[in-house]
């Protein structure tokens, strides 16, 4: 058996980080689903040194070797070594990625995954950048909720969430792109599914990871302003509005501590109240302004439709309003295929087949956009 050498992440000359984080941090926190460390490494064996904490919402990860899924598993709390491969050819260089499957959890302040380093009998080799850099912004659909588990399985649990079967991963891989994720189940543009106005993605977008909580995550810089200059984003794909549509169907949200209430209303005939619909459209326009501020060169694609089309017209109108107001024509609304009885997954969410359909639409659109853009240059 070959001797394994331990390397702190800071001692490794070549590795690639996927997802929002602080460059060069050791140990490295993986905050979002899709956050990962990727290596090109020789040797017969490779282990990851991890530190895991959680109280009630466990963390799941995947391991890919040469871009094939080797394992998907729940991590127990504590410091641990996780075998990524062993018994392979020493000479060949293997591409290895360990990826966080589950979203940031504001519901569990102890939920945290740190990559401290790796152990191997091989050496590390350079990793090329992706052809494009994409950012995906969304809710439970983008968090891949429902992509694992049987169709009849109900329940909001981490086991059903995944990046590995998510349309974002499928799209990025088809385009040879690097992907950044920021998504949170139940959250919207204006409010959450149950009318909570504090649970909206725009209010946390400018933080490194405002979708988690707790002292430990704060000490890791999660709530600090995110430095958008560390990457040049080619496209931002937003998939929000599903939970905003649900809010119209739910009772008013009430904060017992302050007495504050919030509600998106329906008219007696079941139509959206015009004033509240306008409030939602204004939130879309405001978020587009924020996205453009931090991603000045990116093509912005607002997609919607995997769980119904209730707000498709409102989102399309808001995007058009933003374009007219800003004269920014590098933005588009794109409708995605709805989930059907054949493509639904667990917890009444889009299943893997639904994500595949969405990824095909998005990939074809972005391939066409990038080919036209590159031809113009």
Q: If you search the block for the tokens 């209730």, which residue do you land on?
A: 310
8 Å CB contact between 161 and 32 = no
pLDDT at residue 23, rounded to an integer? 79
pLDDT at residue 144, rounded to an integer? 97
Give the CATH number of the domain where residue 316 resides: 3.40.50.1110
8 Å CB contact between 278 and 190 = no
Say how many CA atoms lie within 13 Å of 245 toward its Cβ.
17
Give the CATH number of the domain where residue 9 resides: 2.60.120.260
Q: Which helix (H) or strand (E) holds 217?
A: helix 215-219
At 269-298, the pLDDT tens digits run 999 999 999 999 999 999 999 999 999 999
Q: Which of 125, 160, 179 is the last residue of a domain?
A: 125
Find the domain containing 198 and state its range: 133-376
338 and 207 fall within a common domain: yes
For the chain, give the mean pLDDT: 96
Q: How far apart are CA 51 and CA 26, in angstroms?
A: 12
Q: How far apart are CA 100 and CA 98, in angstroms?
A: 7
212 and 301 fall within a common domain: yes
61 and 161 fall within a common domain: no
User: What whole-number percentage of the chain has pLDDT above 70?
Assistant: 99
pLDDT at residue 2, rounded to an integer? 65
Sequence-separated contacts (24+) of 322-325 with Cβ below 8 Å: 322/284, 322/285, 322/288, 322/289, 325/285
Q: Which of 125, 152, 175 is the last residue of a domain?
A: 125
What would the mean pLDDT of 237-252 be, rounded to a whole number?
Answer: 98
pLDDT at residue 177, rounded to an integer? 98
Confidence of residue 3 (pLDDT cuts 50, 70, 90): confident
Into how many domains does the chain fold? 2
> How many residues are recorded in the chain?
377
Q: Which of 125, 150, 175 is the last residue of a domain?
A: 125
For residue 361, is pLDDT > 60? yes
Sequence-separated contacts (24+) of 217-221 with Cβ below 8 Å: 217/29, 217/31, 217/109, 217/112, 220/25, 220/29, 220/112, 220/114, 221/22, 221/25
114 and 218 fall within a common domain: no
103 and 160 fall within a common domain: no
Quick count: other Cβ atoms within 10 Å of Cβ 219? 11
212 and 186 fall within a common domain: yes
Q: How far apart are CA 61 and CA 42, in angstroms?
A: 22
44 and 171 fall within a common domain: no
29 and 143 fall within a common domain: no
Exposure string over 86-96, b if 16+ CB within 10 A, otherwise e: eebeeeebbbb
116 and 247 fall within a common domain: no
**Residue-wise DSSP of 103-170:** PP-TT-TT-EEEEEEEEESS-EE--PPPSSEEEEEESTTTTTTTSSS-TT-----GGG--STTSHHHH
Helix, coil or strand: residue 331: strand
pLDDT at residue 373, rounded to an integer? 85
254 and 179 fall within a common domain: yes
Q: If you search the block for the tokens 């990962």, which residue do you land on?
A: 36
* Residue 81: strand pairing partners: 49
Exposed/middle/buried for residue 283 (C-beta within 10 Å: 0-12, 13-18, 19+): buried
pLDDT at residue 69, rounded to an integer? 97
At 190-223, the pLDDT tens digits run 999 999 999 999 999 999 999 999 999 999 999 9
203 and 290 fall within a common domain: yes
Exposed/middle/buried for residue 239 (C-beta within 10 Å: 0-12, 13-18, 19+): buried
43 and 145 fall within a common domain: no
Do strands 94-100 and 331-335 pair parallel, antiparallel, or not at all (unpaired)?
A: unpaired
């Amino acid at each position: 058996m070959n001797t394994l050498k331990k390397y702190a992440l800071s001692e490794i000359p070549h590795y690639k980080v996927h997802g929002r984080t602080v460059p060069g941090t050791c140990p490295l926190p993986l905050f979002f689903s899709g956050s990962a460390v990727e290596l090109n490494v020789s040797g017969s064996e490779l282990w990851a040194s991890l530190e895991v904490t959680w109280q009630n919402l466990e963390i799941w990860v995947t391991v890919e070797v040469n871009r094939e899924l080797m394992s998907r598993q729940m991590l127990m709390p504590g410091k641990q070594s996780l075998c990524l491969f062993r018994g392979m050819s020493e000479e060949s260089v293997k591409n290895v990625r360990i990826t966080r499957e589950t979203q940031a959890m504001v519901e569990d302040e102890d939920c945290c995954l740190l990559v401290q380093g790796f152990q191997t009998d091989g050496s590390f080799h350079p990793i090329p950048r992706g052809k494009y850099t994409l950012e995906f912004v969304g809710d439970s659909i983008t968090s891949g909720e429902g992509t694992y588990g049987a169709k009849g399985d109900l329940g909001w649990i981490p086991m059903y969430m995944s990046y590995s079967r998510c349309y974002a991963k499928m799209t990025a891989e088809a385009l040879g792109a690097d992907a950044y994720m920021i998504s949170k189940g139940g959250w919207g543009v204006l409010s959450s599914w149950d009318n909570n106005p504090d649970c909206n993605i725009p209010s946390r977008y400018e933080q490194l990871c405002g979708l988690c909580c707790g002292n430990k995550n704060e000490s890791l810089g999660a709530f600090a302003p995110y430095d958008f200059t560390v990457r040049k984003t080619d496209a931002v794909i937003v998939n929000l509005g599903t939970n905003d549509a649900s809010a119209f169907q739910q009772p008013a949200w009430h904060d017992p501590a302050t007495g504050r209430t919030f509600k998106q209303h329906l008219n007696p005939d079941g139509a959206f109240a015009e004033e509240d619909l306008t409030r939602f459209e204004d939130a879309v326009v405001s978020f587009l302004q924020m996205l453009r501020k931090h991603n000045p060169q990116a093509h912005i694609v607002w997609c919607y439709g995997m769980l119904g089309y209730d707000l498709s017209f409102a989102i399309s109108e808001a995007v058009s309003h933003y374009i007219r107001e800003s004269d920014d024509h590098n933005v588009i609304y794109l409708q995605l295929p709805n989930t059907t009885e054949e493509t639904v997954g667990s917890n009444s969410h889009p299943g893997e087949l639904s994500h595949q359909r969405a990824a095909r639409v998005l990939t074809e659109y972005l391939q066409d956009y990038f080919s036209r853009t590159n031809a113009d240059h």
